[in-house]
Amino acid sequence: MTFELFGYSIGSAPIIGFHYGAGNQEELKNLFQKSLVIVIIGAICMTGLAELFASPLAKIFVGYQAELLEMTRHGFCLFSLSFLFSGFNIFSSAFFTALNNGVISALISFLRTLLFQVIAVIVLPLLFGIDGIWAAIVVAELLAMFVAVGLLIKKRKQYRYI
């Protein structure tokens, strides 16, 4: 999921940057709205596929032991929920890069890939045991999404994409 969204985000960035630089707010709004739809549909589909194929995928790697297979399947089902949020975060970071705002882009990336993950990996296992480890990425992406949404709302008048 993340590879496709990185590809989409990187591929759409020059187009977004061009329309921003040209002052074409209508096309910038159009690209932003269509991109959100693509990211949301992609996230839902990928999460659904991951949940659907969790058992066969786990079986490829740990099919030799039933207990380990179940733990892996369960963990992957928890982890796959992160796909619901990661696409939005990846696109938001790339979007701000395309708007020539590397600081916000870097902030979103730093929060989702380091700070929130480290905090979640330390705190969640204390509360939820091994499920806390699997859910750490989900919580980190969710927290980063809240930050990204807040920044998108805050900067909407400056860049006029909404």
> What value does the mean pLDDT take over residues 2-25?
92
Residue 1 has pLDDT above 70, yes or no: no
- What pLDDT was estimated at residue 120? 98
Q: Which residues contact 125 (CB under 8 A, 6 or more apart)?
A: 132, 133, 136
pLDDT in tens, 37-55: 999 999 999 999 999 999 9
| DSSP per residue, 64-90 | T-HHHHHHHHHHHHHHGGGHHHHHHHH
What's residue 109's pLDDT?
97
Check residue 101 and give left, alpha or beta (phi > 0: left; psi -120 to 50: alpha): beta
Over residues 138-144, mean pLDDT: 98
pLDDT digits (tens, 9 = 90+) for 93-137: 999 999 999 999 999 999 999 999 999 999 999 999 999 999 999
Query: Over the chain, what is the mean pLDDT?
Result: 96
Q: pLDDT tens across 51-85, in order?
A: 999 999 999 999 899 999 999 999 999 999 999 99
